[in-house]
Amino acid sequence: MDVSKTVLKDAKKEEHSLAKPTYASRKEMLDAADEIARILGHDAVTYDAHVLEHHGHSDWSTSNSPGRAVAVVYPRTTDHVSAIAQICNARNVPMVPFGAGSSVEGNFSQPYSGICIDFTYMDRVIAFHPEDMDVVVQPGVNWVDLNNQIAHTGLFVPLDPSPTATVGGMVSTNCSGTNAMRYGTMKDWVLNLTVILPDGRVIKTRRRPRKTSAGYNLTSLFVGTEGTLGIVTEVTLKLAPIPKETSVAVVAFPTIHSAAAAASKLIRSGIQLAALELMDDEQMKLLNAHGSDAVRKRVWDEKPTLFLKFSGTTKDAIKSDVSRVGDIIKPLTDSKFHFAKTKQDELDLWSARKEALFTMVNTRPRGTEIWSTDVAVPISRLAEIIEISKRECGSLGLFASVVGHVGDGNFHVSMMYDPTNSQQKQAVAKCVKNMMTRALEMEGTVSGEHAIGIGKKECLVDELGEETIGLMRQLKASVDPKWVMNPGKVFDWMG
């Protein structure tokens, strides 16, 4: 008797026995919103069509759904969110959390309508413990604002996602950004969470020490689950010392492959870079034509370019690292190695990398959309997949560019297309699908930092397999038996 097959068969039976979720009618959803308004106050709930559209559609994303919430609610406390959850769960009304709206995989879309919970007013720093190097915040806190607020203490949140991102959204997607090479991803910086479960119960995932082996690791369970298991209302974040010395350097390469290959060599060299970023020739052309005044202080080589960030305790240590990087790169390119000589140089050089997506969005022709997605692969396969993906996307005759956090094997492809042209849309979709298939063939992942949302559900099955998704589905059904927490994201109710 094959015990493993029997266990899998029984697990599938249990999965298929899960009750299919049934959601409230539009009228019942509106009744729930009215009840929330009576508890939170009528100024905490809006039914305005423009607000609903803003909370249901993203210009950053192609993965939008036609559904819209019936109302947007604005809680201010954990108790408010608990009350919202109790009302929605009792009435089978979907709940969709909303932070800054900067996610790109349809993570806050509302395919089943429901109520959107906007955390704009949950933006307080609850407690700051500089001696312990941690801070407790509400989910609506913007990470840039937080870093500015605590900078005088010499501490910071070391991640570097979109400057618009809020802490709740960062937890939801397990984001990272340009500093991931040195500092990792969001999961590495969350000590504990206060979470509202679907029925309104309030839990704290663990206490505040830097380490614990007490019980299940519930903190990691909720980080990256996109609000499908519960809604985060407080986050305790670890902080890092702000580096005493920093610098930035840029260098162009003749081809995308040579740039990616150089990145791989730098990673294997053991030099402690803070960040290692790649922008292709198309992005560099955009910067010259449409970059900010700071970026256009110089004329950029319109070639694939690496952006490097150095950090350390002394200027001499950084100079040594810059010199070693120069020795590695010199045989691979004829272009000059530029590094910042002043703090203003440093800001100007790095702003070119940070402006990449915004420049694309702001210069796209009217009526076009941007399909932006990411994958990550083992470092040894990075140059190969970037070169193949760049070639395939470029062959479509559309604007296509590659930007990457190549320091940890993660890169993004963005393509502009006419959504009313079915041939273009199908070609772009095929290109994206091929890139994700290629990443999986190289033992990579279909999502390095954007999470799954509605855009990558099919590919997640390809990556993890039906049995693994089945276990996730059972976990979801156990915690959220009515499937009211951000439904339609990560995976569907059944297969």
Strands 71-73 and 45-46, how do they pair? antiparallel
Strands (DSSP E) contained in 180-271 are 190-196, 202-204, 231-238, 240-241, 245-252
pLDDT at 1: 46
Q: What class, spelled out in words, does domain 22-119 have in CATH?
A: alpha beta
Phi and psi at 96, nearest 5°, equal -125, 110
Strands (DSSP E) contained in 334-440 are 338-339, 369-376, 400-405, 410-417
* DSSP-derived 3-state class of residue 45: strand
Protein fold of 125-241: 3.30.465
pLDDT at 5: 54
| CA–CA separation, 165 and 99 (whole Å) | 7
- CA 344-350-354 angle, 5° bins: 130
Single-letter amino acid, residue 107: N
pLDDT at 494: 76
Q: How far is CA 124 from the centre of its chain?
A: 22
Whether residue 317 contacts residue 281, with contact meaning beta carbons closer than 8 Å, is answered with no
Q: Looking at the domain that runs over 364-462, which CATH code has it been given? A: 3.30.70.2740
pLDDT at 7: 47
Please tell me if the domain spanning 125-241 has the same topology as the one spanning 364-462: no
* Cα end-to-end distance, the chain, whole Å: 27
In a structure prediction context, what are the per-residue pLDDT tens digits for the chain, which is 495 residues long? Answer: 454 455 455 555 555 446 789 999 999 999 999 999 999 999 999 999 999 999 999 877 778 899 999 999 999 999 999 999 999 999 999 999 999 998 889 999 999 999 999 999 999 999 999 999 999 999 999 999 999 999 999 999 999 998 999 999 999 999 999 999 999 999 999 999 999 999 999 999 999 999 999 999 999 999 999 999 999 999 999 999 999 999 999 999 999 999 999 999 999 999 989 999 999 999 999 999 999 888 888 899 999 999 999 999 999 999 999 999 999 999 999 999 898 989 999 998 999 998 887 888 888 899 999 898 999 999 999 999 999 999 999 999 999 999 989 999 999 999 999 999 999 999 999 999 999 999 999 999 999 999 999 989 999 999 999 999 999 999 999 999 999 999 999 999 874
Whether residue 469 contacts residue 458, with contact meaning beta carbons closer than 8 Å, is answered with no
Hey, what are 416's tokens? 């502009």
Domain boundaries along the sequence of the chain:
22-119, 125-241, 245-358, 364-462
* DSSP-derived 3-state class of residue 56: helix
The domain 245-358 is placed in CATH, from the list 3.30.360.10, 3.40.50.720, 3.30.70.2190, 2.60.40.420, at: 3.30.70.2190
**Interacting residues of 327 by C-beta distance below 8 A, sequence separation 6+:** none
| CA–CA separation, 160 and 177 (whole Å) | 5
